[in-house]
A and B are shown apart, each in its own frame.
Chain A
Amino acid sequence: MQSMNDSVKDSVRALLDKQTDSGHHTWRRVKDNMARYGIGLGGISVIIAVMMIFFFLLYVVLPIFKGAEIQAGKTQSYPAESSLFWGVEEYGEIGYNLNAEGSALFFDTKTGQPIDQYELELPGGASVTSAGYADVEQNIVALGLSDGNLLFAKFKFDISYPDNKRKITPSITYPFGEDVIELSDSPIEKISASLSEDTLTLVAAGAGTEFSYIRFALEESFSSDGFSLEEIDRQEVTADTPIDFLFTEPTGIWVYAVSRNGVLQSFLFSDSEEKLLENEKVALVEPGVTVRDVDLLVGGISMIVADDKGMITQWFPVRGEDNVYSMKKVRDFSFNGSPIVTVAPEVRRKAFVALNENNELGMFFTSSHRVVLTEQLDSQVSKDALALFNPRANQLLVKNGQELMRWDVDNEHPDLSWSALWGKVWYENYSEPEFTWQSSASTSDFEAKFSLVPLSFGTLKAAFYAMLFAMPLAICGAIFTAYFMAPQMRQMVKPAVEIMEALPTVILGFLAGLWLAPALEEHLPGVFMLLIVMPFGIILFGLAWHFAPVELKHRIPDGWQAALLIPIIIIIGWLSMSLSYPVEQAFFDGNMPEWLRQHGITYDQRNSLVVGIAMGFAVIPTIFSIAEDAIFSVPRHLTNGSLALGASPWQTLVRVVLPTASPGIFSAVMIGMGRAVGETMIVLMATGNTPIMEANIFEGMRTLSANIAVEMPESEVGSSHYRVLFLAGFVLFVFTFVFNTVAEIVRHRLRRKYGSL
């Protein structure tokens, strides 16, 4: 049995161990080769991992800088013969047209085929003379009639999902009742209305320079599911200029009248006192230039003005130093110098589209100051062409004479541009261009502010204060540990520093926020005293030790100075803290933070000082370890030579050791800096996370990393906000990549240099 077993084994072994020409066994060689390639692949996978992080971040970020794309649909003939007003529902599938006779036609935007027709219930003999949106999202339209009366109609779209397919059923309702509202005797030529949550403001003008301003309060009506209107203000105002364009906005306090020759008269109505407060006249264009089209952007704050020189300008009221608002030109877009035919704003974003006489279509975004797209059209743009976005802004319709043109629009991130991310931007309601980060707000027509400058500033500020605290302690500590310290003590210090490095930053942040910040506020003068007293105290003790009796000195061998100093440091620290209040009382009226505030310096409890100390604490071990390594590995024969020539240890250190180790120390600082820049939890917990741009040490900051941690979980995948947060991550990645690579190259050089010594 045994022998048979053996013989089987032998034969198997012989098979496996078949010798090849090179003297290796086949199977073993195969294994060896497999291992070689497998391990090689494993090694290279590290590079792949880094590249993957880099390229994936880039892949998410890149669409930011992509322009818009439009895909033309088939041009159809416009389904209605006459048109006074037109619109489209949210998905862009069904459009509607209203003519002067009050006949409303719903049509399919893709085919141009009529779907349904309704006749508005107009009072006898009246026709519609003007129309304007009161609310674009809800398709509520204010109609001015030839008999001087008003009517509100809603183009209603009911969505149902029979068989899991979207079906939209159009109809017309009267949200504020079917009765007309009496306004004047003459036909209403211009009308503008604006619906907010609880008010409806309306301005209407006839042929002259007079206009009526009416404000209604919305009352929930019990009889129907709509609202009833209660008039709370009505005024007749005469403008100084012809009224060619007339607007009001959701808050109902501003009314703008614009004439063709470019004079804007803005009227400010008070919210409470029910009267016209003031008005202002501004020239929107140079003399001799004609205004072609004017419109308000979503939110009703910004006005865009297009002229016959191909310029489009954005205006909004800006609060001046005297607290008075005046219309200011904020930015302009040049559209190839060709007279502009029409502009049309997007419904949900501060973007607009324009057509010019050169048959070009352009898409623009205001706050990013970006021309997102220009496209040459095949057909001639007629003088009365009109453009229209659906609320989702993925469909663009143009009514060009009797043509209906349609495009699918892919325009995801027009709100981001280099200048929006890194430049000063003049946002609505701001008095000047600023760097601002404010990614979300409760309102839907909010202008997202994506400036990375305050965040980068905060990042660098936090890193700066951390380095200010960490660098001296870490480098000096490393010098002493590597060069002067007794080996036995070094064996204890190094693990202590490693444990310091291993402390989770969440714990440092927690202590910084909940323990250090209040403690600092309590003992602020003591902290600054500590900064001054500590070095002197240490040196004084050194001097005293120098004169101490020899017997005492002999008991403690050289290289244990640091251990001797520990009680001294504790005593100095305790003294400073207990002297803190007397000093505060003597110089700072008993309360230093309050004193600072009175002298115009803001003091936040969770400020840069706290972050500097906590993050410095986290960075010290990083710098320390690398610097200590660099100093310790300076060859002994160099120092011995210097010492033999009569230099003191310190002189040797400064003249011989430090110059040799300086690249290593430099790379330690770089890596420490990289760590400080990317640290998240400490800044998240130890500051107030306000994105401000103040260098003041007593104020907080918001860093790129903390910003990601705070906002990423709430950002919608694929939105501009999401991509900007990825960009912040990418910036951090690149930043630390540069720092680390430089540090690594420096260290590599250093290693080679020592190798030759």
Chain B
Amino acid sequence: MREKFFKSGEHWVWFNAGAIAISLVMVVGLLALIAVRGLGHFWPKEVHHYELSLENGEKAHVLGELYEEQSPKGAQDDSETQLLIKNGNREVYGLDFTWIHKKHVTAESFPSDVVVLERREWGNFYGDLQKVIIDGAEVGNDKESRYAAMLARINEVNDVFEDIHDLEKSDIGSVNYRLEELRLERRRLELDGKDTREALAEIAAQEQQLKNEFEDLQTKLNALYAEAEKDSVVVKTIEGKELTVNFAMIVRAFQPNKMTGLGKVGHYFEKVGEFVLEDPREANTEGGVFPAIFGTVMMVILMSIIVTPFGVIAAVYLHEYSKQGFLTRVIRVAVNNLAGVPSIVYGVFGLGFFVYFLGGSIDDLFYPEAKPAPTFGTSGLIWASITLALLTLPVVIVSTEEGLSRIPKSIREGSLALGATKIETLWRTVLPMSSPAMMTGLILAIARAAGEVAPLMLVGVVKLAPTLPVDGNAPFIHLERKFMHLGFHIYDVGFQSPNVEAARPLVYATAFLLVLVIILLNIAAIKIRNNLREKYKSLEH
């Protein structure tokens, strides 16, 4: 029996089965790892209160979230275990994190009154709420009412901040944009030699008007800031140090130890919403990734607009028009090479050709007034989209061609026999029938482009873009602007951030978001393709 097992090579079969099983375990494990870490980030963690008695006899208190537990290799018991506590309060402790020895812990509790303040600067605060000062007077006479008053005021201030944000981004942004336009206008007139006194005077008048507008807005803005900053809370750290925190600093307050299960779920989704819809804070380590999502989507849309016609035409040529011969083989080699060329090479090409050569030429021709500052002659959204369109071209070609080859010959012949020309046959029958295949190709291209980072580092992404590529200023879509990208965000925050430890959960969350999008896109592509295959399988017989 055993001899037969080895003689027939059965063990090798098992061996091979092991290989695919290992691959599957790795994929699923990796996805699970990202999902667990990424999704866990938003869950409100309980705040521990550790009482420590140190070796020198001193007592100490640490208040914070338990972040990680680490024992040295092969430790038999807890004696050497260290706990990493996120104790926040960066203005007091200097760092967000502290290590404590588990053996020093004499008592551990979860005080229900602990308040966590998420702030716009200095990270989280953990401690007790002492006073709420609104309009110079203390509000609330017990803990509950104080807390409620604080929450109410935070909501009000956040509304004020929304107004501030609107004012800064759209109104003041628009004034600045128009001022810049006027400056360019004047320069253009100078370059053209048309800088007559009247023209300059008109520009100056407009400028004055805008400046007045700017002053008005500035006054309004200052009033709003004053409104946001007028009240504050007094909080106490676990050591008993009192701090005054202005309401303008507070994004959110919650009491994790008091939260019910439902409350936690609510908090969770609130955080998820913030992550997806808000701007990043604190050098990208807190807040949301909305600009990165927006930038990725914009780039992908532009890329789709460019790549689809080219990819489909090339595929139609390969499959419908060309005679199978030397030329088609050369084209196929070219397509395969486009698919195989490392993405960084596209980045290098995009930077040299699109950005410096094409962009530089466009600047010379159309934007001489902005010089020496480049307009299109620097990396930006449009160049990133074109570069990625080139990169994903083979994906669309291969997929479309596969779709074309699945359409039975009889359909084409039927159409031709009825007197339609070749293009009519294609346009009316073949292309509509193969549109799911094009869709598949496009989806795969989008999935590829959404995850590609290396070329983008050279042709357009930045860690923090001050403005989105789309805004309310004509011409509304600013193709030359730099943008943020989810993939690059992961690289940048995970590896270039000054506070990697604090940023890590956010990176996992971003990674999860990106993986989720890409997997959904791929599954959609696979489903569409399988449907198409099924459909034409029945036609063939």
Q: Is B92 an interface residue (CB 8 A)?
A: no
CA A713 to CA B455, docked complex, whole Å = 11
Q: Is the CB of A504 within 8 A of B390?
A: no
Q: Is B177 an interface residue (CB 8 A)?
A: no
- Within 8 Å CB of A474, what residues of B? 19, 23
CA A725 to CA B344, docked complex, whole Å = 11
Q: Is B408 an interface residue (CB 8 A)?
A: no
Q: Is the CB of A479 within 8 A of B16?
A: yes
- Within 8 Å CB of A679, what residues of B? 342
Q: Is A178 an interface residue (CB 8 A)?
A: no
User: Nearest A residue to B20 by beta-carbon distance?
Assistant: A477
**How far in angstroms is the closest Cβ of chain A from B443?**
10
**Known pairs A504-B451, A504-B518; A49 contacts B334 (CB<8 A):** yes
User: Nearest A residue to B322 by beta-carbon distance?
Assistant: A43
Q: Is A503 an interface residue (CB 8 A)?
A: yes
Number of A interface residues at 8 Å Cβ cutoff, please give it.
118
- Within 8 Å CB of A717, what residues of B? 356
Chain A positions 531 through 552: 1 when the CB is less than 8 Å from some CB of chain B, otherwise 0? 0001100110111011100000
Q: Is A708 an interface residue (CB 8 A)?
A: yes
- Within 8 Å CB of A534, what residues of B? 18, 22
Q: Is the CB of B487 within 8 A of A506?
A: yes
- Within 8 Å CB of B12, what residues of A? 650
Chain A positions 447 through 467: 1 when the CB is less than 8 Å from some CB of chain B, otherwise 0? 000000000000000000000
CB-contacts of A726-746 with B (<8 A): 726, 729, 732-733, 736-737, 739-741, 743-744
User: Nearest B residue to A718 by beta-carbon distance?
Assistant: B356
User: Nearest A residue to B330 by beta-carbon distance?
Assistant: A47
**Known pairs A511-B34, A650-B9, A708-B344; A582 contacts B74 (CB<8 A):** yes
Q: Is the CB of A542 within 8 A of B11?
A: yes
**Known pairs A28-B424, A31-B423, A565-B17; A705 contacts B344 (CB<8 A):** yes
Q: Is B388 an interface residue (CB 8 A)?
A: no
- Within 8 Å CB of B334, what residues of A? 46-47, 49-50
Residue from B73, B327, B454, B507 in contact with A705 in the complex, judged by beta carbons closer than 8 Å = B454
- Within 8 Å CB of B491, what residues of A? 506, 509-510, 681, 684-685
Residue from A35, A515, A570, A620 in contact with B33 in the complex, judged by beta carbons closer than 8 Å = A515
CA A40 to CA B526, docked complex, whole Å = 30
Q: Is B317 an interface residue (CB 8 A)?
A: yes
CB-contacts of A620-660 with B (<8 A): 620, 624, 648-651, 653-654
User: Nearest B residue to A741 by beta-carbon distance?
Assistant: B333
CA A651 to CA B24, docked complex, whole Å = 26
Residue from A504, A535, A674 in contact with B340 in the complex, judged by beta carbons closer than 8 Å = A674
User: Nearest B residue to A501 by beta-carbon distance?
Assistant: B522
Q: Is A383 an interface residue (CB 8 A)?
A: no
CA A497 to CA B23, docked complex, whole Å = 8
- Within 8 Å CB of A478, what residues of B? 20
Q: Is the CB of A43 within 8 A of B317?
A: yes
Q: Is the CB of B421 within 8 A of A681?
A: no
Q: Is the CB of B1 within 8 A of A40?
A: no
A6-14, A353-361, A364-372, A584-592 - the one binding chain B: A584-592
- Within 8 Å CB of A35, what residues of B? 422-423, 426
CB-contacts of B278-336 with A (<8 A): 309-310, 313-314, 316-318, 320-322, 327, 329-336
**Known pairs A56-B352, A581-B74; A42 contacts B310 (CB<8 A):** yes
Chain A positions 399 through 410: 1 when the CB is less than 8 Å from some CB of chain B, otherwise 0? 000000000000
- Within 8 Å CB of B321, what residues of A? 36, 39-40, 43
CA A50 to CA B346, docked complex, whole Å = 11
- Within 8 Å CB of B348, what residues of A? 57, 708, 712, 725-726, 729
Chain B positions 1 through 42: 1 when the CB is less than 8 Å from some CB of chain A, otherwise 0? 110010111111111111111111111101001100000000
**How far in angstroms is the closest Cβ of chain A from B156?**
39
Q: Is the CB of A46 within 8 A of B397?
A: yes
**Known pairs A506-B453, A546-B5; A43 contacts B318 (CB<8 A):** yes
CB-contacts of A128-175 with B (<8 A): none
Q: Is the CB of B313 within 8 A of A737?
A: no
- Within 8 Å CB of B448, what residues of A? 502
**How far in angstroms is the closest Cβ of chain B from A94?**
27
Residue from B8, B335, B349 in contact with A57 in the complex, judged by beta carbons closer than 8 Å = B349
Q: Is the CB of A503 within 8 A of B11?
A: no
CA A737 to CA B337, docked complex, whole Å = 6
CB-contacts of B325-383 with A (<8 A): 327, 329-349, 351-353, 356-357
Q: Is A677 an interface residue (CB 8 A)?
A: yes
Q: Is the CB of B21 within 8 A of A569?
A: yes
Q: Is B393 an interface residue (CB 8 A)?
A: yes
Q: Is A692 an interface residue (CB 8 A)?
A: no
Residue from B310, B314, B341, B444 in contact with A678 in the complex, judged by beta carbons closer than 8 Å = B341
CA A457 to CA B336, docked complex, whole Å = 26
CA A29 to CA B424, docked complex, whole Å = 10
**Known pairs A50-B337, A740-B336; A496 contacts B19 (CB<8 A):** no
- Within 8 Å CB of A484, what residues of B? 13, 16-17
Residue from A40, A60, A650, A740 in contact with B10 in the complex, judged by beta carbons closer than 8 Å = A650
Of A42, A485, A744, A748, most B-chain CB atoms within 10 Å: A42
- Within 8 Å CB of B329, what residues of A? 748
Q: Is the CB of A31 within 8 A of B421?
A: yes
User: Nearest B residue to A560 by beta-carbon distance?
Assistant: B17
CA A505 to CA B454, docked complex, whole Å = 9
Q: Is the CB of B25 within 8 A of A570?
A: yes
Of B22, B331, B353, B514, most A-chain CB atoms within 10 Å: B22
- Within 8 Å CB of B14, what residues of A? 538-539, 541-542, 545, 561, 565
CA A36 to CA B353, docked complex, whole Å = 30
Q: Is A15 an interface residue (CB 8 A)?
A: no
- Within 8 Å CB of B488, what residues of A? 506
- Within 8 Å CB of A28, what residues of B? 421, 424
User: Nearest B residue to A36 by beta-carbon distance?
Assistant: B321
- Within 8 Å CB of B15, what residues of A? 476, 535, 538-539, 542
**How far in angstroms is the closest Cβ of chain B from A598?**
17
Q: Is the CB of B345 within 8 A of A510?
A: no
**How far in angstroms is the closest Cβ of chain B from A714?**
11
CA A472 to CA B335, docked complex, whole Å = 28
CA A44 to CA B343, docked complex, whole Å = 22
**Known pairs A507-B514, A581-B74, A726-B348; A736 contacts B342 (CB<8 A):** yes
**Known pairs A504-B514, A737-B341; A709 contacts B8 (CB<8 A):** no
Residue from A535, A581, A617 in contact with B26 in the complex, judged by beta carbons closer than 8 Å = A617
- Within 8 Å CB of A712, what residues of B? 347-348, 351, 458
CA A68 to CA B26, docked complex, whole Å = 56
CA A705 to CA B453, docked complex, whole Å = 12
**How far in angstroms is the closest Cβ of chain B from A255?**
46
User: Nearest A residue to B315 by beta-carbon distance?
Assistant: A43
Q: Is A38 an interface residue (CB 8 A)?
A: yes
**How far in angstroms is the closest Cβ of chain B from A688?**
12
**How far in angstroms is the closest Cβ of chain B from A666?**
15
CA A140 to CA B444, docked complex, whole Å = 65
CA A542 to CA B11, docked complex, whole Å = 7
Q: Is the CB of A732 within 8 A of B23?
A: no
- Within 8 Å CB of B339, what residues of A? 740
- Within 8 Å CB of B522, what residues of A? 495, 498-499, 502
Known: A44-B317, A511-B34, A678-B342. 10 other contacts (CB 8 A): A43-B331, A477-B20, A493-B20, A496-B24, A499-B522, A514-B494, A542-B11, A542-B15, A566-B24, A685-B494
Instruction: Provide 8 A-B residue pairs closer than 8 Å at the C-beta atoms, listed in order of the A residue.
Output: A40-B321, A50-B338, A477-B19, A480-B16, A484-B17, A502-B518, A538-B17, A712-B458
Chain A residues near B (Cβ < 8 Å): 24, 28-29, 31-32, 35-36, 38-40, 42-47, 49-50, 52-53, 56-57, 60, 472-481, 484-485, 493, 495-500, 502-507, 509-511, 513-515, 522, 534-535, 538-539, 541-543, 545-547, 561-566, 569-570, 573, 581-582, 584-585, 590-591, 617, 620, 624, 648-651, 653-654, 671, 674-675, 677-681, 684-685, 705, 708-709, 712-713, 717, 725-726, 729, 732-733, 736-737, 739-741, 743-744, 748
